[in-house]
Amino acid sequence: MGKGRRKPWGKGGKKRAKFEKDGGNVWKSDRGNQKGVRQNYLDIIKENADFEKFYKLQQVCPAEEWEEFMNSLRQSLPTTFRITPTRSEANAMLHILADNLIRDAVMAGKSDSEMEIKAFPLPWYPENFAWQLNLTRKDIRRNESYFRLHNFLVSETESGNISRQEAVSMIPPLALQVEPHHKVLDMCAAPGSKTAQIIEVLQKNENEDSVGMLVANDVDNKRCYMLVHQAKRLQSPAFIITNHDAGGFPDLYCTGKDGSKQKLEFDRILCDVPCSGDGTIRKNIDVWKKWSTSNALALHNTQVQILKRGLELLTIGGYVVYSTCSLNPIENEAVIHRVLKESEGSVKLLDINLPNLKHRQGLTHWTPCSKDLVGYQTPEEVPEKWQTVVKEYMFPPKPEDLTKYPLEKCVRVLAHQQDTGNFFIALLTKTGDLPWLKTSPITEVSPESVVKAPEESANNSSNSQEDSGNLRYNRGFPDKFSRQNAKKLRGFKEDPYIFLMQDDPIWDPIRKFYCLENLKSSNFLTRSVDGKKRNIYFVTNLVKDIITNNESTVKIINTGVKVLARCGQNNKWTASDFRLAQEGLKSMLPYIKGRRVTITQEDLVILLTNEDETKPPLLTAFDPETQVQLEPLERGSCVLVIKSRTDNEGPPFCLELVGWRGATSLRGYVPKQERIHYIRLCGGDISKFETNKFQERAAAELLEQQAAEGLVDEENGNAVANDGEAIMEQDIGAD
């Protein structure tokens, strides 16, 4: 969502780079109204006559709703977020959120003189796992209930249990209808909120071996590392991050059932393409003063190129979702119409069925305009000076062709309908071979041949994309063929992916120590060739196969989830040099048949609230049944299993954490934010992990009041206790 914000065409090709250089990028972050003078967001007037003129002409909204639509564009967006639905504790999280934190915030809002807080689940999102909340930073500073809700959202987002995401951005992954066994490609993935949604579906059966997988691609190398952050949050072994121009994404290969090398075809593909981004006007208010039609006209070919490449990579019967955060039909319906026309019946447009989602149908008629906002009803009306910009293929279908191209099946979400951003979504399926591949067969080109003859390859790839109705680009080599790109791939240096061999000396001790069953060493990889292996990562069989078949021709940025980490030098008492890593524990659980200990909720709270990490709780501090399980267990890493009590207020849950059985103690290897999450689920006190200025202020006021009443020693701030209170404190200290 919001791909038009920083680099609206940052996902592919020299044309967009040139366009930005020439001043076409109207969403740059420079908010100055003159050179050297910065203009505050609050000073921007939310009016633009050209914007209104153009979209009235396009009839994107009924005339009777126009004022409501425009008024909604001038309002800030509410906060929206999702609970990660695939985790076993998701329903317990929903209970804490809805029945405690949100309830308290709403009650506090009723007595708030400035604004009443509204919070509700998005009516079209499954199982009430997505919520909308009109809470601002100013509100958070004003009320402790708001502050507690805010802290919850922040900490749970960091631990991967909640994802902050704009409401309309959640629609494309739902429309894509992903299932756990699907092979999925996200062509323009960064920053990764939709990517995260797809991963969640693929991991729906979290205790089963995943047979599906996701390739998340982005052209911007730096933005690819935003996807790495998403991968760490969601901890998937079925995830590959690649760095390519989406319009020239390379063919991938895998091993077929007969052992031969075959082209990989995807079941589902998301084309959330770079766009002008004017649908994000509620969030990116620079649009009000910098909007023009030039962006859409310049981006149309790129968008078509990405969608056509997606269809080429799709299996017959598979689905592609095309989406933008633009209102402009040149980037939306015109793209779909053009691709349907060129596909000659091999691609069909499908209905999108999301109950309770309010939306408009796709436009069947629109008016292409030049940069000076003059509209044209037919291509013949376009003056010669605009004919290189306003193309014939940007015009709507003729009336007699409307049944052939049912553009009304597209979905347009408008801001005023459900208090959201604006979005366009289309769902397509491939029903047969694509005609442009039949008429123009592709010969595969290796990177080596490109290095030898880059100029010839470059010439072959530049066949007047502007003027041909059929966009062409090369396959087999990831980017446009030029000396620069050939050199880039040849010199591309990510750390290598080294899969463990069965006879690797570290493998057998790991396998025996954790009683690993039905798991091959080849599913584990490291990122270092020489020296001791520090971390070991796990991937599924399909991901491993794709990496080994494509590593020399595809720029793989990241893959695998960390499952094992080398112990420190002082851990000489354990038989394994590697301990389990919390972030990859879910992936390993189906295969670990030993070193499991079931502990109580109270045990977990003791473990995670221990303040001195150098002195973990003694074994005797835990429940007697827990001690019985720990007694025969050899020192080293172990799995702690916690099942919720039957008398818990909320839904049941089951947690698995990494522990360490010491000589006389037990510790947990859990990051701070995840500690807060687990303690909260178990009903423990999380206040020591949070800074609560409201409580600090109340404590300071109480201390001041007590000092005034003579109840506090003013020199050192200690309370003046009576004899009974002093004895009680001594008893507590003795415990």
**Residue-wise DSSP of 286-345:** THHHH--SHHHHHHHHHHHHHHHHHHHHEEEEEEEEEEES---TTTTHHHHHHHHHHHTT
* Alpha-carbon span 477 to 92, nearest angstrom: 48
Mean pLDDT of 478-507: 64
Distances from the Cα of 90 to the Cα of 46, 173, 204, 365, 734, angstroms: 40, 19, 12, 44, 40
Distance CA 217, CA 189 (A): 6
700 a known binding residue?
A: no
Question: Which residue out of 325, 410, 638, 682 is catalytically annotated?
Answer: 325
pLDDT at 221 over 70: yes
Instruction: Report which secondary-structure segment, H or E, holds 565.
Output: strand 561-566
DSSP-assigned letter for residue 100: I
d(C-alpha 247, C-alpha 473), whole Å:
8
Cα–Cα nearest to 362, from 322, 400, 420: 322
Per-residue confidence (pLDDT) for residue 66, from 0 to 100: 98
Residue 88, pLDDT > 90, answer: no
What pLDDT sits at residue 468?
37
Which amino acid is residue 419, in one-letter code? D
* CATH 3.50.50.60 at 14-77+166-439, yes or no: no
pLDDT digits 0-9 by tens, 151-170: 888 889 888 899 999 999 99
pLDDT in tens, 670-707: 887 788 899 988 888 887 777 666 565 666 666 666 66
3-state secondary structure of 665: strand
Torsion, Cα of 214, 215, 221, 223 (10° steps): -30
To the question of whether residue 612 is assigned a binding role by annotation, the answer is no
Residue 589: φ, ψ to 5°: -55, -40
**pLDDT grade for 208, boundaries at 50, 70 and 90:** low
pLDDT at 696: 59
With beta carbons less than 8 A apart as the criterion, state whether 223 and 187 touch. no
642: β partners: 599, 655
CA 152 to each of CA 140, 535, 671, 677: distance values in angstroms, whole numbers, following the listed order: 12, 31, 16, 9
Query: Is 623 known to sit in a ligand binding site?
Result: no
Predicted confidence at residue 39, as pLDDT, reads 53
What was the pLDDT predicted at 674? 86
496 labelled ligand-binding? no
User: What angle (nearest 5°) sits at the alpha carbon of residue 503, between those of residues 498 and 509?
Assistant: 95
> Residues of the chain with pLDDT > 90: what percent?
59
Contact 320, 87 (CB under 8 A): no
Least reliable range by pLDDT among 85-89, 267-271, 305-309, 655-659: 85-89
Per residue in 409-425, pLDDT tens?
999 999 999 999 999 99
Question: Would the annotation count 123 as a binding residue?
Answer: no
Q: DSSP labels for 34-56?
A: ETTEEPPGGG-----HHHHHHHH
How confident is the model over 587-614, as pLDDT tens digits?
999 999 999 999 999 999 999 988 788 8
Q: What pLDDT was estimated at residue 695?
A: 61
Bridge partners, 133 (sequence order): 79, 119
Gap between the Cα atoms of 653 and 715, Å rounded:
50
Cα(470)–Cα(78) distance, integer angstroms = 42
pLDDT at 567 over 80: yes
Highest mean pLDDT among 30-34, 265-269, 446-450, 563-567: 265-269
- 479 assigned to a ligand binding site: no
Q: Which pLDDT does position 461 carry in this prediction?
A: 34
Summarised one tens digit per residue, pLDDT across range 40-78 is 656 789 999 999 999 999 999 999 999 999 999 999 999
- pTM > 0.95: yes or no: no
Q: According to the annotation, is 401 in a ligand binding site? A: no
| Mean pLDDT of the 472-495 span | 44
Query: Is residue 410 marked as binding?
Result: no
Specify the higher pLDDT residue, 318 or 502.
318
Whether 277 contacts 2, CB under 8 Å:
yes
pLDDT, greater one: 258 or 116? 258
Q: Where are the domains of the chain?
A: 14-77+166-439, 79-164, 447-490, 498-580, 595-689, 693-734
Report residue 723's pLDDT band, with 50, 70 and 90 as the boundaries. Answer: very low
Q: Which is more confident, 388 or 29?
A: 388
Whether residue 325 lies in the annotated active site = yes
On whether 194 is known to bind a ligand per the annotation, the reply is yes
pLDDT at 206: 63
Residue closest to 238 by CA, chosen among 568, 469, 543, 592: 543
Q: What is the mean pLDDT of the chain?
A: 82
The verdict on whether residue 341 carries a ligand-binding annotation is no
